[in-house]
Amino acid sequence: MFNSTLANSRSKILSGVTAILLAATVFAGAAQAASPGEVKARGSAVIGVQMDQFPWGFIDQNGKNDGFDIEIARLIASELGVEPKFERITGQNRIPLLVNGNVDFLVPSMTITEERAKVIQYVIPYSSNDITVWGKKEAAIKGNDDLNKYVIGVNRGSAFEPLLVKVAPPNTQIKRFDDDATTVQALLSGQVDAILGSVTYGLVIDKTGHGAEYERKYKVADNFQGMAVRKGDKEMLEFLTDFVNRRTADGTLDAIYKKWIGVDRPKLPTTLPGVDFTGKQ
């Protein structure tokens, strides 16, 4: 879990973004709540999902939405008895789309942070995307203290970048790339010796046919992820919280996670410092 020191560091980085999003909340004040009853009456649920982040959410070879989040979103819609309508989200637009009422809720594989929790209402964690170091097999990297012996790549502007800066020795050579895809490609092409990022980088590496040349070195930090609704959407919050609890208890979420992520879903917390999952604050 990100500790309080990291949270303070990231708070400084994201404070400007938070201010903008809070302003968006004020100006969007007319956005209507999306209760399960209203969604059922409409006959469809507009769900914000990723469409270009394998294996979380992507478009398959047949032009259909697929992935971990898509399967979960379809299951939620099925329980509501409605058709899912998927709205493409990105890291930049997902919170504004929710706050402004363009989507009913998010199933976004989005990291839970205190800053975002000031603007949106998180549901208890349903997924995890461990922050991991991947590297060449011959690279002797066993922990953070070894990072300064190698060139390390990271996705600039992601939650991974400030964490890498925090945990790596001061003289570590860090190369920053525009997105996850180019970060992984930098490793495969030899531009860097290792990269810090998603546990799912391993799936991407395997798909290139070079999986035998690289390995998961160690987990740097937990990265818990949550669905989200608008502040005040208490009925939808309760519905989705119940969904996560029930589908955790019956093993459904574990099975979907193992299917798409390739590893066992870790035991997830129901409380996190500085984040209200109840909708009462």
* Residues 114-143: tens digit of each pLDDT: 999 999 999 999 999 999 999 999 999 999
Last residue of a domain, one of 193, 221, 249: 221
Q: Could you tell me if 119 and 239 lie in one domain?
A: yes
Last residue of a domain, one of 168, 189, 221: 221
Question: pLDDT tens for residues 172-225?
Answer: 999 999 888 899 999 999 999 999 999 999 998 998 999 999 999 999 999 999
Token pair recorded at residue 136: 């060449």
Half-sphere exposure of 100 (CA within 13 A, CB side): 11
| Structural domain count, the chain | 2
- Domain assignment present for residue 277? The answer is no
Q: What is the pLDDT of residue 33?
A: 61
- Domain assignment present for residue 271? The answer is no
- Domain assignment present for residue 11? The answer is yes
Q: Residue 22: in which H helix or E strand, if any?
A: helix 4-27
Domain that holds residue 232: 4-128+224-261
Q: Could you tell me if 114 and 228 lie in one domain?
A: yes
47-79 as b/e, with b when 16 or more CB fall inside 10 Å? bbbbbebbbbbbbeeeeebbbbbbbbbbbbbee
Q: Could you tell me if 106 and 239 lie in one domain?
A: yes
Q: Is the dihedral of CA 104, 107, 110, 113 positive or negative?
A: positive
Residue 137, SS3 per DSSP: coil
Confidence of residue 10 (pLDDT cuts 50, 70, 90): very low
Among 106, 118, 89, smallest CA distance to 14 is for 118
Q: Which residues, other chains included, contact 149 with Cβ-Cβ below 8 Å and sequence gap of 6+?
A: 140, 141
Q: Could you tell me if 90 and 13 lie in one domain?
A: yes
- Domain assignment present for residue 61? The answer is yes
- Domain assignment present for residue 276? The answer is no
Look at residue 263 and tell me whether its pLDDT is greater than 90.
no
- Domain assignment present for residue 268? The answer is no
Q: Could you tell me if 239 and 203 lie in one domain?
A: no
